[in-house]
Amino acid sequence: MADSAAVAGLLWDHWLPRNVREMLAGPLPGGEDDGRRLCVWLAGTHDIGKATPAFACQVDELAGVMNAAGLGMRTRKQFGDDRRMAPHGLAGQVLLEEWLEERHGWTRRASGQFAVVAGGHHGVPPDHLQLHNLDAHPELLRTPGPSEAVWRRVQGELLDACAGAFQAEERLAEWQRVKLPQPVQVLLTAIVIVSDWIASNPGLFPYFPEEYSRGEAERITAAWRGLTLPAPWAPAEPRETAAELFATRFGLPPEARIRPVQEQAVTMARAMPEPGMLIIEAPMGEGKTEAALAVVEVFAARSGAGGCYVALPTMATSNAMLPRLLDWLGRLPGSVVPDDEAGAGFPADPPAGEPHSVLLAHAKAALQEDYALLLRSGHRTIAAVDAYGGEYAQETGGARSASADLVAHQWLRGRKKGLLASFAVGTIDQLLMTGLKSRHLALRHLAMAGKVVVIDEVHAYDAHMNTYLDRVLSWLGAYRVPVVVLSATLPAARRAELAEAYTGSSTTAVRDATGYPLLTAVSSGSEPVTASPAPSGRRTDVALEALADDDAVLVDRLATELADGGCALVVRNTVDRVLNTAATLRERFGPQHVTVAHARFLDVDRARKDAALLRRFGPPDSDGRSPHRPRQAHIVVASQVAEQSLDVDFDLLVTDLCPVDLLLQRMGRLHRHPRGERQSDRPPRLRNPRCLVTGADWQSAPAPEPVRGSRNVYGAYPLLRSLAVLAPHLGTTDGPDEPVRLPEDISVLVQLAYAESEEHCPSPWAEALGTARARHEEDRAKQQRKAEVFRLDGVRGPGRPLIGWIDAGVGDADDSPAGRAQVRDSRESLEVLVVMRRSDGTLRTLPWLDGGRGGLELPTGAVPSARAAKAVAACGLRLPYHFSFPEEFDQALAELEELYVPAWQEKESHWLAGELVLALDEECRTRLAGFFLTYDPDEGLMVSRDEPSKKEEGAAR
């Protein structure tokens, strides 16, 4: 208890960001001094529930000593299952409440809001039923009879001693009148959890301190030195002009000019009464990410946030963002350490420029090269270190590494603690789980409360995810967390919902704002501010054309368009359509001229293909040329993976019909970069950007009918609404076709397609549209109801204890398939690691892996080498929808579990334990749950009910 209290004080002095300290201090009469004392006292009393017979009976010889001292106890066997009704956290809450009420005159409600911290320090605050059950079994807290008074006296003595030692005694009379807001209760709980975990680390705090001659102060100092938690980021507010700020933070060349959107974002961030939410709507390629990071620096300096979290749609987009974040961090000036006296007597704050902790937040982060390097450089022993550098205790592990500017800190690793790192980039799931009732949710709240949160591609989330996102935003608003929202295609209604969720109040000004680009700034207690800066001058007129959904028509058209060379992107809405189209195109153009990209690849192959796409079709070099851009005609057939966050550029776009906002995103891959003067380096036929829209029966009456796969993915209603607003551009209405003007038409088309007041559709479509709308609304309501099951409640009024805060939750939730399934409206899918089984029965890594990783032996009687195990871990594959239906899921799971290698699981291979393994034969084929699976490193996974012939496989390849 004393160790936990000491750690809490150190965390307050040296680790908690300023905005978190201010949030905790806000409701307390003594301000930050009270905040520190309260954290220390709650950490010091959190384990008082161990001073009960229900807990102390667990070790017979120790229980006997207590018995002899008058603390009568039953044995563990005598208690039986009743002990489960008095976990020591719950018992501690009850004891602390009684002490406050009986000795200090507090009311039950006043005591509950403080004592619930002890009750929730193992991750789940108790509910009312648990409190009622324990109240019915007082023998679990004190043995009845003569020893009851002894138990009561000892518990009171311990709590009296804590109040004196942790300087809370003289403040209790003032605190009993305080109404703690629920967000403050959550943060206090999280700080106690972190303090408890650190104090429970035997490497930092040896179990038998009397073996060491140093005093308690030296013991605490040694532990803190050994832990070396990086201090929070504490930037000074940048004083440069916006142009100077961008030049220094992003390494822009002297001739580069800041874009109006970027300049306006910095200006608005500086002008807000207090940091709040800034929504940036701007075209693709306008530098929204750089604008967001510049705003993060301004917001952090003004609010006291100690870092940032950048949330993206997928693991792939998160991986791509990490190097950009690291580059920005490397250009930041040294942190400014606050000058205060709060930590007198404790180790000094680290000097400015000390390392900052960094996290890549998703399940396969260790496979990303930049992050893997941070992990290796940050690997070290966590052990107490005295003032002269000697270690009190040594854990096995790697040697201590030299300081670096950025570290993946050893202690801040793992699914529970990772987000506590100062800087993190990861999937949107990690943010959405802040609104999911789950164990140790308080830690996730502490992590987000201390950061500026950036949400990229906010338009990309469905009703289920938005239900979670809105609740998360309401909590972020309560914590006064600054938020930056980015989108190229955001409907006005959704913009208003985001602002309302964050501020708790609605305003027509946000909903009715016009202009594009558009920036909207909102914060609690002030009127929203909007601005529409001038476009950057980048402008493209895209000619749209409806194309019949026939592969033969597509082949002939591409043959004509690519006669003089050039590159085309064909985007299909399902992987099956990708594979079928690619096979047909190869027959005409040859395999070397057709590439596929979709989500049905091994992780390692997906990363390789993304890198190849960027190398061949990415931005030109500084001289305006792209040395790897193919000279002959080339076609990339892709699923939605090419839709966002890949900076690729094509001469011609062919796309399945999709919602208009996504269609515009796809257009962002068309003529994305200049290729010579007036695109003169492109083939003559392709110098004017064109988009051919297919994936629909254009002759169907009364309305065009999208193909079945697209309807399954997006629903008929959004597709029909998109068709209606695109009609003037597609030649489906009378009059000349109008090009889509980018960026001018982006917001116009999106707002028309998503307008709630009217549907801009031809009158003959009315019946079909009405049917589709009814189905759409039913599906949205179903998604929202599903999300409500485990969604966290909203913030309740001050003074209400967190009792039952995550009642009926999901238990543990992390970045696993099951965890992601809670915040995404998707069937639970199976993820496997893919290996090869040779004809002799031995297992090997896949032969085509580069870097010497291919064909490595995978022994079944022992843990594979670290090199081989990591190579297998890089071959993760999420099985497609075929295996998501209940019957197929269960059958596939049962068959996969047959390949159970005890040595990999029971000996806890870091990379392989707990994973399902799919073994392919030497021809990369296997059967699973009645399906035939074939894998090709260039084509991905092919699934069929019937066994494919060699000829069919060859054609696919």
Three state DSSP letters for 225-259: HHHCCCCCCCCCCCCCCHHHHHHHHHCCCCCCCCC
Token match 């208890």: residue?
Answer: 1
Domain with CATH 1.10.3210.30 in the chain: 2-200
Residues 856 and 294: their CA atoms lie apart, in Å, by 46
Distance set, CA 115 to CA 47, 90, 910 (Å): 11, 9, 39
- Report the pLDDT value the prediction gives residue 409, as an integer from 0 to 100: 78
Residues 485 and 265: their CA atoms lie apart, in Å, by 11
Whether the per-residue pLDDT at 956 is higher than 60: the answer is no
Which position has the higher pLDDT, 506 or 347? 506
Q: Which fold has domain 540-742+758-774?
A: Rossmann fold (3.40.50)
- Report the pLDDT value the prediction gives residue 820, as an integer from 0 to 100: 61
Amino acid identity for residue 676 in this structure = G
* Contact (CB, 8 A) for 870 and 910: no
pLDDT digits (tens, 9 = 90+) for 625-634: 777 888 899 9
Whether the per-residue pLDDT at 467 is higher than 60: the answer is yes
Residues 595-602 have a mean pLDDT of: 95
Q: How many Cα atoms within 13 Å fall on the side-chain side of residue 57?
A: 22
- Report the pLDDT value the prediction gives residue 827, as an integer from 0 to 100: 62
Token match 């993304």: residue?
Answer: 610
Residues 586-601 have a mean pLDDT of: 95
Model confidence at 192, pLDDT cuts 50, 70, 90, reads very high
Token match 């308080």: residue?
Answer: 442
Extended strands (E) in 282-419? 308-312, 356-361, 406-407
Q: Where are the alpha helices (DSSP H) in 369-462?
A: 369-377, 428-432, 441-449
Tokens of 117: 């911290």
Burial zone of 346 (CB within 10 Å; 0-12 exposed, 13-18 middle, 19+ buried): middle
What is the 3-state composition of the chain as percent helix, strand, coil, each rounded to the nearest 5?
A: 45, 15, 40
* Contact (CB, 8 A) for 728 and 737: yes
Residues 672 and 250: their CA atoms lie apart, in Å, by 21
Which position has the higher pLDDT, 351 or 808? 808
Residues 538 and 543: their CA atoms lie apart, in Å, by 17
pTM here is 0.90
Residues 382 and 377: their CA atoms lie apart, in Å, by 14
Whether the per-residue pLDDT at 199 is higher than 80: the answer is yes
Model confidence at 213, pLDDT cuts 50, 70, 90, reads low
pLDDT digits (tens, 9 = 90+) for 132-165: 999 999 999 999 999 999 999 999 999 999 999 9
Q: What are phi and psi of 310, to 5 degrees?
A: -110, 115
Model confidence at 456, pLDDT cuts 50, 70, 90, reads very high
Q: Where are the alpha helices (DSSP H) in 167-314?
A: 172-175, 182-199, 216-227, 242-250, 260-271, 288-303
Q: What are phi and psi of 421, to 5 degrees?
A: -60, 155
Q: What are phi and psi of 941, to 5 degrees?
A: -90, 130
Segment (H or E) for 835: strand 831-837
Model confidence at 950, pLDDT cuts 50, 70, 90, reads low
Residues 436 and 808: their CA atoms lie apart, in Å, by 11
Model confidence at 951, pLDDT cuts 50, 70, 90, reads very low
* Contact (CB, 8 A) for 110 and 176: yes
Which position has the higher pLDDT, 208 or 771? 771
The answer to whether domain 2-200 has CATH 3.30.300.10 is no
Whether the per-residue pLDDT at 115 is higher than 70: the answer is yes
C-alpha dihedral, 332 to 251 to 320 to 853, nearest 10°: -100
* Contact (CB, 8 A) for 227 and 406: no
Model confidence at 404, pLDDT cuts 50, 70, 90, reads very low
* Contact (CB, 8 A) for 703 and 765: yes
* Range name among 64-68, 116-120, 195-199, 833-837 with the lowest pLDDT average: 64-68
* Range name among 288-292, 361-365, 466-470, 755-759 with the lowest pLDDT average: 755-759
Whether the per-residue pLDDT at 909 is higher than 90: the answer is no
Residues 9-38 have a mean pLDDT of: 98
pLDDT digits (tens, 9 = 90+) for 42-84: 999 999 999 999 999 988 888 888 888 999 888 888 888 888 9
Radius of gyration over every alpha carbon of the chain, rounded to an integer in angstroms: 30
pLDDT digits (tens, 9 = 90+) for 265-283: 999 999 999 999 999 999 9
Distance set, CA 871 to CA 849, 852, 912 (Å): 8, 10, 10
From the CB of residue 907, how many other CB atoms can be counted at a distance below 10 Å? 12
Mean pLDDT of the chain: 89
- Report the pLDDT value the prediction gives residue 340, as an integer from 0 to 100: 40
pLDDT digits (tens, 9 = 90+) for 811-827: 776 655 556 667 876 66
Token match 């091994």: residue?
Answer: 602
- Report the pLDDT value the prediction gives residue 758, as an integer from 0 to 100: 66
Residues 353-361 have a mean pLDDT of: 83
* Contact (CB, 8 A) for 443 and 420: yes
DSSP 500-552: HHHHS---HHHHH---SSEEEEEETTEEEEEE-PPP-S--EEEEEEE--S-HH
- Report the pLDDT value the prediction gives residue 342, as an integer from 0 to 100: 38
Residues near 53 by beta carbon (within 8 Å), at least 6 away in sequence: 71, 72, 73, 74, 79, 139, 140, 141, 142, 143, 151
pLDDT digits (tens, 9 = 90+) for 326-341: 999 999 986 433 334 3
Cis peptide before 620 (omega within 30 of 0): no
| Of 163, 185, 151, 135, the residue nearest 28 (C-alpha) | 185
Model confidence at 808, pLDDT cuts 50, 70, 90, reads confident
Model confidence at 422, pLDDT cuts 50, 70, 90, reads very high
Whether the per-residue pLDDT at 670 is higher than 60: the answer is yes
Task: Name the percent of the chain lying above pLDDT 90.
Answer: 67
* Contact (CB, 8 A) for 591 and 558: no
Provide the β-strand partners of residue 15: none
- Report the pLDDT value the prediction gives residue 45, as an integer from 0 to 100: 98
Domain with CATH 3.40.50.300 in the chain: 242-333+353-531, 540-742+758-774
pLDDT digits (tens, 9 = 90+) for 833-877: 999 999 999 999 999 999 899 999 999 989 999 899 999 999 999
Residues near 528 by beta carbon (within 8 Å), at least 6 away in sequence: 499, 507, 509, 510, 520, 521, 522
Residues 580 and 523: their CA atoms lie apart, in Å, by 50
Positive or negative torsion for Cα 448, 449, 452, 457:
positive
- Report the pLDDT value the prediction gives residue 911, as an integer from 0 to 100: 86
* Range name among 224-228, 724-728, 904-908 with the lowest pLDDT average: 904-908
Whether the per-residue pLDDT at 914 is higher than 90: the answer is no
Residues 537 and 541: their CA atoms lie apart, in Å, by 13
| Of 497, 505, 507, the residue nearest 524 (C-alpha) | 505
Residues 115-135 have a mean pLDDT of: 95
- Report the pLDDT value the prediction gives residue 347, as an integer from 0 to 100: 39
Residues 583 and 707: their CA atoms lie apart, in Å, by 19
Residues near 317 by beta carbon (within 8 Å), at least 6 away in sequence: 456, 457, 644, 645
User: What's the DSSP call for residue 393?
Assistant: S
- Report the pLDDT value the prediction gives residue 794, as an integer from 0 to 100: 95
Residues 584 and 952: their CA atoms lie apart, in Å, by 12
* Contact (CB, 8 A) for 826 and 599: no
Range 242-333+353-531: architecture per CATH: 3-Layer(aba) Sandwich (3.40)
Tokens of 736: 């000349």
C-alpha dihedral, 129 to 135 to 140 to 141, nearest 10°: 120
Model confidence at 735, pLDDT cuts 50, 70, 90, reads low
* Range name among 78-87, 487-496, 733-742 with the lowest pLDDT average: 733-742
Tokens of 232: 């929070």
Model confidence at 635, pLDDT cuts 50, 70, 90, reads very high
Whether the per-residue pLDDT at 480 is higher than 80: the answer is yes
Burial zone of 247 (CB within 10 Å; 0-12 exposed, 13-18 middle, 19+ buried): middle
Q: How many Cα atoms within 13 Å fall on the side-chain side of residue 533?
A: 21
Token match 């009715």: residue?
Answer: 512
Residues 505-530 have a mean pLDDT of: 92
Whether the per-residue pLDDT at 708 is higher than 70: the answer is yes
Whether the per-residue pLDDT at 733 is higher than 70: the answer is no
**Hey, is 852 helix, strand or coil?**
coil
Q: Residue 736 CA to chain centroid, in angstroms?
A: 46
Residues 934 and 943: their CA atoms lie apart, in Å, by 7
| Of 795, 651, 779, the residue nearest 711 (C-alpha) | 779
